[in-house]
Structure 1
Amino acid sequence: MAYYIPILFFAGAYVLTYFTIPKIIRLVEYKNLMDDPVSRSSHKKKTPTLGGASFFYALILALFFSRSWGEFNESIYLVPGLTILFIIGLKDDLLVLSPYTKLIAQFLAISFIISNPSFTIHSLNGFMEIEAIPTYVNYLISGFIMLTIINAYNLIDGIDGLAAMVGIVILIIYSAIFYMTHEYFYLFLSLTMNGCLIAFLRYNLSIATDEKIFMGDTGSLIVGFIISILTLKFLALSPEKYDSLPFLIENVPLIAISILIVPLFDTARVFTIRLADKRSPFSPDRNHTHHILIDYFNISHRKASYIIGAFNLVFVYLIILLGSASYNLWLVATLVTTVVILGYLFFRIDYSFTNLKRKLKIKRKVDEVKEKGKKLFHKDKN
């Protein structure tokens, strides 16, 4: 493979996304398809959404140009799945769909992927002494993995920059993995998605209100879908492919969990809280980790996103180092210890929706008093 080919996929996706998003912003503003803030929103002004629409056609073009690199004609299976999630995400951003409607769409999209032999998990390669996996178990495991990742990623898209930064970290790791294993189709897919996210991040973190945009469900469903595909392929690699990776083959499932630690931990945490409160696990609230960092520690969206993204990167690096010499027991112990510590820290304070709502009301009243004080000061001065 020529060295410039991966660069072309990354640069092409970046340029397409970078120059398309301003057009989407203008269109969304003209048609008044803005995201209105509600009581649990982290933004206070109407903001354009649908930024993820620019990801869709960049990925479709990448699949067209990379189709010959796939061993099992994977691009043909990805296109219908991407299209289903693009349509359902677009409709949800415009009309708001029920979680169960989105789940049905996700099942349909996933069915195209797990029917391709490239994504069949034949063995766990000795993880917890599990070797061969029956076909029906493979379908159940694969479907569950993809469904979990898509929804976990969708749920972390709650503040500026977070979903994009976490996605960039995950995709950098997968780009390195598929480069080392010579799985170039998935390398191109990772780089294309990363190019889209890096270009999008420039607008998502923009201070200028006329340039700011959210990826919306249109984007988060697509990115989650791509990350779930890459994760499934990582778990389905043939044993000889793992020889080029810097960790023991039996640690692969734990490495996959560590790569996705941020969305998986956050989803498990909020689902536990909601079920404990006898609510639907899909009911909205401000119990996410990123909301807690903002509401309780009074830091900006950007800082919260940097902190969480940096944690994801450092954690994966440490787990890979540990996985290069340690067997399952130590890695499991490390993962469990980390989750327990994080769980303790984030459950120690009262993060109930009622308490958060009360604190937000107090904060808004303080802001209103400050604003009135400033107006009176300027009035007296004049």
Structure 2
Amino acid sequence: MKLLIVFIPFIIAILLSRIMIPYILLISYRKRLFDPVNSRKVHSRIVSRLGGVAFAPIQCCLYTIVMLIVYKLNFVDLEVMTWEIFPMFTMLICGLAVLFIVGIGDDLIGVNYKAKFLAQIFVASLFPLSGLWINDLYGLGFVVTLSPWIGMPLTVFIVVLIVNAVNLMDGVDGLCSGLVGLGCIVLGALFMYYGAWLHAIFAFITAGVLIPFFYYNVYGTTRRKRQIFMGDTGSMTLGYSIAFLAISFAMNNHYIKPFSEGAIMVAFSTLVVPILDVARVMYVRWRMKAPIFSPDRNHLHHKFLHAGMSHRTTMLSIFCLALFFCVFNIVMVELISNNVVIICDVLLWIIFHYIFNIRVAARRERIK
């Protein structure tokens, strides 16, 4: 019965998303709401960028209805402490609503990056307000328990980092939705394993919403006017959703899930690629004395495209890279300490880029 409580909302989310996206496409083309084409874009034709409008409404409404049915009918015991968990999901829905409004404004008329940044800080602050914050580093950096004065600001910083990291990965068809979908499925399965059914339901609802969008985004044809982008509305709400799931898994509290030694490394294993890519890009900008927050074409997917890979190959390559880090961390936390795992992650990331840069340089020499 618990598996059905997760599986049925997952299927309903797929169906609702499949119904909404064609209507969004129709409105976009009738009202001429397209993603602008410029030097930073990898597409050269007009495409709707309002696909993300379907995400948050389905997530919030479907999850709320499922919880109401479960608790009113009382036909299955999810074994959770209601008054400890519900404030977290209430703040999650509030944060999604705020980012949804800001995202639509940005996709339609443009929003100043400072205003978006302030909105992200505000919604990130809702998590500590609800009682959800990183209170344990599990020995990472030889630190265990964190005080609220450190853990709460750290949580706000990490949420903002994840939201922006996910947003910056939205540069190739299917990449952002695929990475977040992969993360939701992995974390959802782990929540099910530990008996955290409320979080598992939300994770699979989010994954279900992304499946039809992924199809339209990757396989939709511009000739038939069926391709669609998620825009900032989608990328910010997805980043916020995956941040909520990751921090919930990392939090050391018995009313979410039982204690596990490698929780923090496992929680963020699905986000290793976007987070390390943001760190690399910031370092490159600092080294080149360029503005830290200035847009460029130096992200991981840009590097793959510059190497001559197609959009589809780039997407699949980054998926494989993300899946490798995910499996590697989940396996290795059972064998070695968290400190060694994170050192291995960084070293593998550096080695990958070093080898990749050498091969790209050799390819360019052969072409010359």
TM over 0.5: yes
Partner of 2:272: 261
Which of 218, 222, 226 in structure 1 is aligned with 2:233? 218
Q: 2:152 aligns with which of 133, 139, 161?
A: 139
Q: Please give the alpha-carbon distance, in whole angstroms, between the structure 2 residues aligned to 1:312 and 1:325.
A: 20
Paired letter, 1:30: R
Question: Once the two structures are superposed, what CA deviation does each residue of 1:304-345 show, in whole Å capped at 9, x if it has no partner?
Answer: 111111221122112211111212343133113112213424
Report the Cα distance in structure 2 between the residues aligned to 1:211 and 1:337, rounded to whole angstroms.
41
Compare CA radii of gyration and give the structure with the larger one: 1
**Equivalent runs, 1:353-364 vs 2, <5 Å:** none
SS in structure 1 at match of 2:298: coil
**Structure 1 runs not aligned, ≥5 long:** 352-358, 360-382
Q: 1:270 aligns with which of 281, 297, 308?
A: 281
Q: Alpha-carbon deviations, 1:169-208, whole Å to 9, x = none?
A: 1111101111112111111110011001111001001242
1:308 partner letter: I
Identity of aligned residues (%): 29
Q: Which residue identity does 1:337 align to in structure 2?
A: L
Structure 1 residue 107: Cα displacement: 1.2
Check whether the contact 1:99–1:282 (CA below 8 A) recurs between aligned residues. Answer: no
The answer on 1:306 being equivalent to 2:316 is yes
Give the corresponding residue for 1:372. none
Whichever residue aligns with residue 105 of structure 1, its letter is A
5+ residue gaps in structure 2?
72-77
Q: CA deviation at 1:142?
A: 0.8
Change over 3 Å in CA distance of 1:184–1:317 after alignment to 2? same
TM-score (norm 1): 0.85
Q: Deviations over 1:273-314 (max 9, x none)?
A: 222233332222111111111122x22212211111122112
Distance 1:257 1:72 in 2: 21
1:174 corresponds to which of 169, 187, 194: 187
Partners of 2:25 and 2:48 within 8 A in 1: yes
Tell me how far apart the structure 1 counterparts of residues 134 and 122 of structure 2 sit (CA, whole Å).
20
Residue number in structure 2 paired with 1:208: 221
Structure 2 counterpart of 1:293: 304
Q: Trace 1:58-137 onto structure 2 (pairs within 5 A).
A: 58-67=58-67, 68=71, 71-73=84-86, 74-117=88-131, 119-137=132-150
How many Å apart are 1:350 and its aligned residue?
Answer: 9.2
Q: Using the alignment, how far apart are the partners of 1:322 and 1:72 within structure 2?
A: 30
2:7 counterpart residue number: 7
User: Residue type of the partner of 2:297?
Assistant: R
Q: Residue type matched to 1:147 in 2? A: V
Q: Which residue of 2 aligns with 1:233?
A: 248
- Of 333-342 and 104-113, more deviation after overlay is shown by 333-342
Q: CA deviation at 1:127?
A: 3.3
Residue 66 of structure 1: CA displacement? 4.2
SS in 1 for 2:137: strand
2:35 maps to what in 1?
35
Quick one: which amino acid aligns to residue 221 of structure 1? M
198-207 or 210-219, larger mean C-alpha shift:
198-207
In the alignment, structure 1 residue 252 sits paired with structure 2 residue 263: yes
Change (3 A) 1:225 1:329: closer
- Tell me the distance in 1 between the aligned counterparts of 2:119 and 2:214: 27
- Equivalent residues of 2:138, 2:264 under 8 A apart: no
Determine if contact 2:249/2:257 at 8 Å carries over to the other structure.
no
Alignment match, 2:20: 20
- Residue 348 of structure 1 deviates from its aligned partner by 5.2
Cα RMSD over matched residues?
2.2
Give the Cα–Cα distance (whole angstroms) in 1 for the partners of residues 318 and 110 of structure 2: 28
Determine the C-alpha separation between the residues in 2 that align with 1:86 and 1:329: 37
Q: Label 1:338 to 1:108 Cα distance change in 2 as closer, same or farther (>3 A).
A: same
- The residue type equivalent to 2:10 in the other structure is F
**1: distance between equivalents of 2:126 and 2:215?**
33
SS of the residue corresponding to residue 324 of structure 1 reads coil
Structure 2 letter corresponding to 1:295: H
Q: Which amino acid aligns with 2:52?
A: G
Partner of 2:174: 161
Partner residue in 2 for 1:375: none
Q: Separation in 2 of the partners of 1:349 and 1:92?
A: 38
Alpha carbons 1:62, 1:189 under 8 Å: kept: no
Q: Which SS does the other structure have where 2:59 is aligned?
A: helix
Query: Which of 320, 323, 327 is 1:317 aligned to?
Result: 327
Mapped to 2, the partners of 1:109 and 1:342 lie a distance apart of 34
Give the aligned length. Answer: 346
CA–CA separation in structure 2 for the residues paired with 1:105 and 1:243: 33
Residues 63 and 205, structure 2, Cα contact 8 Å, conserved in 1? no
Shift of 1:239: 6.2
Contact 1:261/1:312 (<8 A) preserved = yes
1:284: which partner in 2? 295
1:349, CA displacement in angstroms? 8.2
1:148 & 1:283 partners in 2: Cα distance? Answer: 16
